[in-house]
Chains A and B, each alone.
Chain A
Amino acid sequence: MSFRYTLAGRLLRDPLAVLGLSIIVLLVLSALFADHLSPHAYAELNIANRFASPSLEHWLGTDNLGRDTLSRVLQGGRIALLVGILSVVIAGGIGLLLGTLAGFGPRWLDNTILFLFDTMRAYPTIILALALATLMPRGLSTVIIVVVLTSFSEYGRVARTQTQSLREHEFIAAERALGASSIRIILRHILPNILGPFFILVAINLPVVITIEAGMSFLGVGVPPGTPSWGSTLKDGFDHIRTTPWLILGGGIPLILVTIGFTFLGEALRDVLDPKLRGER
């Protein structure tokens, strides 16, 4: 379809979007092929070679157990992307559903859902993470549940406000007057109109989610010990920051890159997806 072509074409004309996309593509590729790219097995211990400086053998040195940092960072990309994408999809789906229902439905439903959103937003992410971590077994699923619980209300709020402003538009009344049902109006007319702002939010939120995972692992309530998450690499680096700064760099730089990549992409998407801006650039 020519529309899709122009969308992609316009996205690729923005240098920042290209930069963001390249970073994301590189990350995704390195995560997918982590097993082949890693010079060593990520769990391979070598106690004799602890805290080794970067060398040809270990590009980013080794950690306190003599494990190859580069291999662990590459593997960490998998966890980061898995947690990020899964929790954004789940939280986004819940938020979209509840948000459109709240925006389109009767007032009592709106108030109920809004109360839920407010309640969930009242919990600071890390506090909720610490609380839940004591109740649930440590693991990826706990991390995902925490992220979903703390972030779905944000998607929900965006979906709700967008729906509310849309339902006042004349074209919704016009569709009704031409015989469309409520479900049809939501699916065919509300959803396509709110997906633009929604995707922008998703793109900008993905690095936040990845940072939450890293943060939880850093605090020791995230993935189980031994799992090569960026957060645990950072934690190891933090413990030995005076002697081995490369561990901090190994865990930190990918986080920075992810954030930059998705933020650039999100901003470029905002410019392209807004139909009012179409054709102006």
Chain B
Amino acid sequence: MGSTASSRKKTGNTAASRKKKTDNAAPAKITGRTETGLFTPASREEKMDTAAKITAGRTETGLHTMPARYLTEDIYEEILLRLLAESVLRCRAVCKAWRRIATDPRFLAARPRPSCTLTYLRRPAAAATTWRWT
């Protein structure tokens, strides 16, 4: 009986360590990735957790292997805030997450220079024929 318990325990450990190894070796499998390939953390805590996992993966190999798609939305916002209106408009076509960021009223208000283009053409998803004041 004792041996069964210990063997079960052993199995558990192996599974745990295998899981850990997967996390480290393949950061691409992190949960929470959206279909756009962008990672959108739900909470600050989860974000920290992911950052730690990515860091762990990198340290193991001793290489910097952080692809841009693991950056958080806050950081993308920081980057997009530094673009001119014309570039922001193009960035809205890059992916869903970027479109969400670059059409957010908070984002538009935070831009150093307000832009009529960005504000009034805020709904790029709307059909070209429909004009919506939202």
Q: Do A and B make up one complex?
A: no
Chain B interface (Cβ < 8 Å from any Cβ of A): none
Chain A interface (Cβ < 8 Å from any Cβ of B): none
